[in-house]
């Protein structure tokens, strides 16, 4: 931990605009669940095309074990280093400047490419309800609108996130209730059980990850938590428990009420499955409408995540300084909201939902691996670091690391088309670091001085 005298060098201490501490455990739970809940409303069903219902369900088991163990491990990092940089800050403290930058870039790949996929699904749900509205126009308007909502401040953003997350959860419960009477085991166990064999199971892994992708984004709101060293673990663990129940119910009930081939390539699988099952038009329309709230919760929450990661990396000096500008009235990082949002909007205009999802998942898995390595290094290098939450070490993080490697292998096996774009993004990021990004990095002690107030 840095010397308290260094705190006068950080924005929070010198009177410049800074992030505000307004979030409580209920907001963190809503953010953790809201970041992910769209994964129940769309995206995951592309896994049916890869592995069939059983193949996707098999893939979901190790993915769920991974996320449980990872969130336990991540909670230790996030409460010990409650920094807006999240994974970038953990890796920098453990592994040095370059890996801090690379972990931040991986997080940005995850969080910048997830919103366009979600925005495309928003457009799909709106077009499904109102065919006169083109999907792409609805996508663009939704994306820009929620960047604007984030601009109005974290307190407003947190309340919006809480409301839409609760509504989205209610929508899922309604979907489950409507689906149960139509459930048939024969559909779930349709032959062949594994239409593409073991390769299909591996190919389904990225879409199983979509059920949980971005839950870790709650850590990037650490500097806006009232009591981050206690509240982050509470928000994460309750959120993870909620998401586990949601994932398995949604997958099995959807596969049991409709021919999975009818929902494997659409961005609105839940209303499509209900319609296929013969549920009345009112029920289908209701789930379609409430599904928008689930998509909005994730779109809105992930925009919070990418903006805070961008802001923190710019404040560190990895990215151009203007991206760390905070609005003096709203206390939001303005350019960190806008610029990555424009990149995401460009990705959305491609219309390639499955490719965009895979790029996002690749960034997430790379970030998970580096973050877990950071935990091991910090346990060795800084055994006396204040850790308000401690994971069962080394068993839990070791399990998490092994399964993360499994997920990485599955991506290389199943995602050849997306890999060239991932390689291009990483190539540009590494070139930028060595040409410019490594020349203006703030000293370690100054950067982490932002945490000193928590030790007072």
Tell me the residue length of the chain.
Answer: 456
pLDDT in tens, 161-201: 788 889 999 999 999 999 999 999 999 998 899 999 988 99
pLDDT at 2: 38
Number of domains in the chain: 1
pLDDT at 20: 63
- Asked whether residue 9 is domain-assigned, the answer is no
* Domain range enclosing 434: 34-447
- Asked whether residue 14 is domain-assigned, the answer is no
pLDDT at 375: 98
Residue of higher predicted confidence among 284 and 356: 284
- Asked whether residue 27 is domain-assigned, the answer is no
- Asked whether residue 74 is domain-assigned, the answer is yes
User: Is the Cβ–Cβ distance between 257 and 273 less than 8 Å?
Assistant: yes
Q: Which candidate, 165, 128, 110, 448, places its Cα nearest to that of 298?
A: 165
SS (H, E, C) the chain: CCCHHHHHHCHHHHCCCCCCCCECHHHHHHHHHHHHCHHHHCCCCHHHHHHHHHHHHHHHHHHHHHHHHHHHHHHHHHHHCCCCCCHHHHHHHHHCHHHHHHHHHHHHHHHHHHHHHHHHHHHHHHHHHCCCCCHHHHHHHHHHHHHHHHHCCHHHHHHHHHHHHHHHHHHHHHHHHHHHHHCCHHHHCCCCCCCCHHHHHHHHHHHHHCCCCCHHHHHHHHHHECCHHHHHHHHHHHHHHHHHHHHHHHHHHHHHHCCHHHCCCCCCHHHHHHHHHCCCHHHHHHHHHHHHHHHHHHHHHHHHHHHHHHHHHHHHCCCCHHHHCECCCCCCEHHHHHHHHHHHHHHHCCCCHHHHHHHHHHHHHHHHHHHHHHHHHHHHHCCCCCCCCCCCCCHHHHHHHHHHHHHHHHHHHHCHHHHHHHHHHHHHHHHHHHHHHCCCCCCHHHHHHHHHHHHC
- Asked whether residue 165 is domain-assigned, the answer is yes
Instruction: Please say if the pLDDT value at position 7 is more than 50.
Output: no
- For 152-176, b where at least 16 C-beta lie within 10 A, e where not — what string? ebbeebbebbbebbebbbebbeebb
User: Chain-centre distance of CA 194, in angstroms?
Assistant: 29
Half-sphere exposure of 56 (CA within 13 A, CB side): 27
Those residues with Cβ within 8 angstroms of residue 346's Cβ, 6 or more apart along the chain or in another chain: 116
CA gap 294, 122 in Å, rounded: 9
> C-alpha angle with apex 108: 106 to 113, nearest 5 degrees?
105
Instruction: Please say if the pLDDT value at position 11 is more than 50.
Output: no
Instruction: Please say if the pLDDT value at position 26 is more than 90.
Output: no
Question: Percentage of residues in the chain with pLDDT exceeding 70?
Answer: 90
What backbone torsions phi and psi does residue 400 show, to the nearest 5 degrees?
Answer: -60, -40
- Asked whether residue 22 is domain-assigned, the answer is no
User: Is the Cβ–Cβ distance between 448 and 91 less than 8 Å?
Assistant: no
- Asked whether residue 25 is domain-assigned, the answer is no
Those residues with Cβ within 8 angstroms of residue 134's Cβ, 6 or more apart along the chain or in another chain: 123, 127
User: Is the Cβ–Cβ distance between 298 and 118 less than 8 Å?
Assistant: yes
- Asked whether residue 273 is domain-assigned, the answer is yes
pLDDT in tens, 387-411: 988 999 999 999 999 999 998 988 8
Q: What is the CATH number of the domain that holds 425?
A: 1.20.1740.10
Q: How many C-beta atoms lie closer than 10 Å to residue 80's C-beta?
A: 22
pLDDT at 226: 75
pLDDT at 447: 58
183, two tokens:
């459930």
pLDDT in tens, 122-172: 888 888 888 999 989 998 998 898 888 878 776 777 787 788 889 999 999
Q: How many C-beta atoms lie closer than 10 Å to residue 420's C-beta?
A: 9
- For 126-149, b where at least 16 C-beta lie within 10 A, e where not — what string? bbbbeeeeebeebbbebbeebbeb
pLDDT at 52: 93
Q: What is the pTM of this model?
A: 0.84
């Amino acid at each position: 931990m840095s010397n308290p005298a260094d705190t006068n060098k950080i924005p929070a201490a010198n009177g410049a605009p800074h992030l505000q501490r307004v979030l409580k455990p209920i907001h963190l739970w809503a953010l953790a669940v809201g970041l992910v809940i769209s994964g129940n409303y769309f995206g995951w069903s592309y896994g049916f095309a890869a592995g069939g219902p059983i193949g996707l369900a098999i893939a979901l088991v190790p993915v769920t074990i991974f996320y449980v163990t990872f969130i336990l491990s991540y909670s230790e990092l996030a409460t010990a280093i409650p920094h807006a940089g999240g994974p970038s800050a953990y890796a920098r403290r453990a592994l040095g400047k370059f890996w801090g930058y690379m972990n931040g870039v991986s997080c940005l790949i995850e969080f910048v490419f997830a919103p366009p996929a979600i925005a495309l699904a928003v457009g799909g749900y709106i077009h499904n309800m109102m065919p006169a509205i083109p999907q792409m126009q609805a996508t663009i308007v939704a994306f820009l609108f929620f960047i604007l909502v984030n601009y109005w401040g974290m307190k407003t953003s947190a309340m919006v996130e809480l409301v839409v997350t609760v509504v989205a959860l209610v929508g899922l419960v309604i979907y489950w209730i409507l689906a149960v009477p139509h459930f048939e085991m024969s559909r779930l166990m349709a032959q062949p059980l594994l239409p593409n064999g073991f390769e299909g199971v591996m190919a389904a892994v990225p879409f199983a990850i979509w059920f949980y992708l971005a839950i870790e984004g709650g850590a990037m709101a650490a500097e806006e938590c009232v009591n981050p060293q206690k509240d982050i673990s509470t928000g994460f663990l309750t959120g993870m428990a909620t998401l586990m129940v949601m994932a398995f119910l949604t997958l099995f009930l959807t596969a049991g009420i409709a021919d999975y081939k009818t929902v494997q390539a659409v961005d609105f699988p839940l209303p499509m499955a209900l319609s296929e099952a013969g549920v009345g038009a009112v029920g289908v329309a209701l789930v379609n409408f409430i599904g928008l709230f689930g998509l909005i919760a994730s779109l809105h929450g992930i925009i919070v995540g990418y903006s805070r990661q961008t802001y923190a990396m710019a404040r560190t000096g990895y990215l151009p300084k203007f991206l760390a500008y905070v609005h003096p009235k709203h206390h939001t990082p303005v350019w960190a909201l806008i610029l990555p949002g424009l990149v995401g909007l460009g990705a959305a205009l491609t219309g390639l939902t499955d490719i965009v999802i895979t790029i996002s998942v690749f960034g997430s898995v790379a970030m998970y691996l580096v973050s877990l390595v950071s935990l091991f290094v910090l346990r060795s290098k800084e055994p006396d670091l204040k850790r308000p939450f401690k994971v069962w070490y080394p068993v839990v993080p070791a399990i998490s690391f092994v399964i993360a490697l499994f997920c990485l292998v599955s991506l290389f096996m199943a995602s050849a088309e997306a890999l060239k774009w991932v390689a291009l993004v990483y190539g540009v990021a590494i070139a930028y670091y060595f040409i410019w990004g490594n020349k203006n990095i703030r000293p370690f002690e100054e950067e982490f001085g932002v945490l000193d107030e928590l030790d007072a």
